[in-house]
């Protein structure tokens, strides 16, 4: 028997990563220079000296010095980019073409996109993660019907879409050897598809793109689609709600196919982690000496900022903070986690799952217009469980199976070829 060919090595670092990192380093250097100049100007104003027409830009000889430093930083960045452009083709090993990225690299890129993804996209940085539909480890090319079917493989009429959370990617649904995707695809007799996206972009921007992508997915599905189940962890649940809303606004066909929406630790009304960051902004801005440093606090991505109050609407609607109810005609389920060992009002309010307050995950709010109304029996609280533990909890898996196993049986598997 012939020996099987060795598995292609995984890439921990791509050649283009060097150029992307150099671009980030240049931007970071320019940012520090701007902060230093801002502090300089704040001190001048405080001691009664003129700060010039531009409050954060020095004038005269001092201004020329800062401009010279900026020019050096930009020149070094351009020089490094020129060198890398000449060297990178020599570093790219043709024998490794087709080799996949390592889980370590994918996790780092996902985290970087969560924190700086909007800036990476604005700079055209190679590390900016495009939105992709994936089956296992293969990207589903929605622009090519023939290639799409090859990548999809055998499929069923029911689609299970898994949407990850902030700073994560689609491979991280598997945790401690468990993956809810396996449990739910079996319970629903559905074909699983996973979304990968830049979690640093505005939730509503990602929602609009996902709505358009789901419409194309249904266009290419090899068998007549009969239902869609969406499972979102953390920010993924907010993205699912935003996408459904955008799909309805655009009069897409796919929202009518959605049977279930499942939320795992979703901060429907915001997460305190981002609110703490906003508090740091206010504290820094309270002193004229530290006010320029508030820029550091604003390095959070637009996606993280949207988590402050769970904003889901696009700015073109006028009010991004307007309440958005749960989708009509869709069975919605929610699982909230709590680190406390047992139910207790004070412990649940103070602890939550470590990232998301319990009331936020349950859709509760003091304002009636903002409360999310789940059907009786469609909410579950699991104790002694953290935010990420929701992905591997046997208790959560059993609850999800119980909720969704009652779905009508799907037709036999159809070939995607």
Confidence of residue 416 (pLDDT cuts 50, 70, 90): very low
Q: What CATH number does the domain located at 132-271+306-404 have?
A: 3.40.50.1820
How far apart are the C-alpha atoms of 257 and 160, rounded to whole Å?
Answer: 12
pLDDT value of position 350: 57
pLDDT value of position 262: 98
Contact between residue 263 and residue 332 where contact means Cβ atoms under 8 Å apart: yes
Under DSSP, is residue 5 helix (H, G, I), strand (E, B) or coil?
Answer: coil
Q: Report the share of the chain in percent with pLDDT over 90.
A: 42
Distance of CA 384 to the CA centre of its chain: 26
Q: Report the share of the chain in percent with pLDDT over 70.
A: 64
371 by Cβ neighbours in 10 Å (0-12 / 13-18 / 19+) ranks as middle
Confidence of residue 182 (pLDDT cuts 50, 70, 90): very high
Question: CA nearest 189: which of 226, 149, 136, 237?
Answer: 226
pLDDT value of position 415: 40
pLDDT in tens, 248-282: 999 999 999 999 999 999 999 988 665 555 444 54
Q: In what order do the strands lie in the sheet with 379-383?
A: 138-139, 132-135, 191-196, 158-163, 227-233, 258-264, 331-338, 379-383
More confident residue, 70 or 352: 352
How far apart are the C-alpha atoms of 157 and 225, rounded to whole Å?
Answer: 4
pLDDT value of position 84: 42
Distance of CA 372 to the CA centre of its chain: 22
How far apart are the C-alpha atoms of 359 and 342, rounded to whole Å?
Answer: 15
More confident residue, 291 or 32: 291
Checking if the pLDDT of 409 tops 50, the result is no
Confidence of residue 243 (pLDDT cuts 50, 70, 90): very high
Mean predicted lDDT score pLDDT of the chain: 76
Checking if the pLDDT of 363 tops 70, the result is yes
Assign residue 28 a region: left if phi > 0, alpha if psi is -120 to 50, beta otherwise? alpha
pLDDT value of position 42: 53
Least confident of 98-102, 233-237, 358-362, 371-375: 98-102
Specify the DSSP class assigned to residue 402. Answer: H
Contact between residue 175 and residue 391 where contact means Cβ atoms under 8 Å apart: yes
Domain ranges of the chain: 15-90, 132-271+306-404
Average pLDDT over residues 87-110: 56
How far apart are the C-alpha atoms of 399 and 127, rounded to whole Å?
Answer: 37
pLDDT in tens, 36-58: 445 444 544 554 545 555 555 55
How far apart are the C-alpha atoms of 393 and 73, rounded to whole Å?
Answer: 49
Provide the whole-model pTM. 0.75
pLDDT value of position 1: 45
pLDDT in tens, 302-314: 888 887 778 888 8
Confidence of residue 378 (pLDDT cuts 50, 70, 90): very high
Confidence of residue 329 (pLDDT cuts 50, 70, 90): very high
pLDDT value of position 239: 97
Structure tokens at 255: 């929202």
pLDDT in tens, 118-165: 888 887 877 789 999 999 889 999 987 778 888 898 999 999 999 999
Checking if the pLDDT of 412 tops 50, the result is no
pLDDT value of position 75: 53
Average pLDDT over residues 305-324: 81
Q: Which residue has the tokens 């598995």?
A: 7
pLDDT value of position 114: 83
pLDDT value of position 109: 78
Alpha helix ranges (H) inside 124-179? 145-152
HSE of 389, CA atoms in CB hemisphere, 13 A: 18
């Amino acid at each position: 028997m012939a020996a099987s060919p060795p598995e292609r090595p995984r890439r921990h670092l791509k050649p283009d990563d060097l150029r992307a990192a150099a671009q980030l380093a240049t931007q970071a250097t320019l940012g520090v220079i701007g902060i230093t100049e801002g502090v300089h100007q704040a001190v001048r104003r405080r001691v009664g000296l003129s700060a010039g027409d531009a409050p954060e830009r020095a004038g005269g000889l001092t201004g020329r010095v800062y401009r010279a430093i900026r020019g050096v930083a930009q020149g070094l960045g351009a020089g490094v980019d020129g060198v890398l452009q000449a060297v990178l083709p020599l570093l790219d090993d043709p024998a490794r073409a087709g080799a996949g990225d390592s889980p370590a690299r994918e996790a780092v890129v996902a985290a970087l996109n969560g924190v700086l993804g909007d800036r990476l996209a604005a700079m055209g940085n190679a590390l900016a993660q495009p939105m992709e539909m994936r089956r296992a480890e293969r990207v589903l090319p929605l622009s090519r019907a023939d290639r799409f079917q090859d990548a999809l493989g055998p499929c069923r009429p029911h689609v299970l879409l898994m949407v990850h959370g902030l700073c994560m990617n689609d491979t991280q649904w598997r945790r401690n050897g468990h993956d809810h995707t396996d449990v739910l695809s079996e319970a629903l007799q559905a074909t699983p598809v996973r979304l990968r996206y830049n979690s640093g972009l505005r939730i509503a921007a990602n929602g609009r793109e996902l709505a358009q992508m789901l419409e194309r997915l249904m266009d290419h599905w090899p068998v007549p689609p009969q239902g869609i189940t969406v499972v979102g962890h953390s920010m993924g649940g907010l993205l699912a709600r935003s996408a459904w809303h955008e799909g309805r606004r655009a009069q897409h066909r796919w929202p009518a196919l959605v049977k279930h929406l499942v939320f795992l630790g979703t901060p429907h009304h915001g997460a305190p982690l981002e609110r703490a960051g906003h508090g740091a902004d206010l504290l820094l801005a309270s002193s004229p000496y530290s006010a320029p440093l508030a820029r550091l606090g604003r390095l959070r991505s637009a996606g993280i900022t949207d988590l402050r109050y769970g904003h889901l609407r696009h700015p073109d609607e006028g009010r991004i903070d307007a309440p958005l109810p749960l989708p009509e005609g869709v069975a919605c389920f929610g699982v909230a986690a709590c680190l406390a060992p047992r139910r207790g009002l004070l412990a649940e309010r103070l602890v939550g799952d470590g990232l998301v307050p319990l009331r936020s995950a349950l859709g509760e709010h003091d304002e009636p217009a903002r409360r999310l109304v789940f059907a009786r029996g469609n909410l579950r609280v699991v104790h002694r469980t953290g935010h990420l533990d929701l992905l591997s909890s046997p208790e959560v898996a059993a609850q999800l199976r119980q909720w969704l196993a009652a779905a009508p049986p799907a037709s036999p598997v159809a070939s995607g070829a």
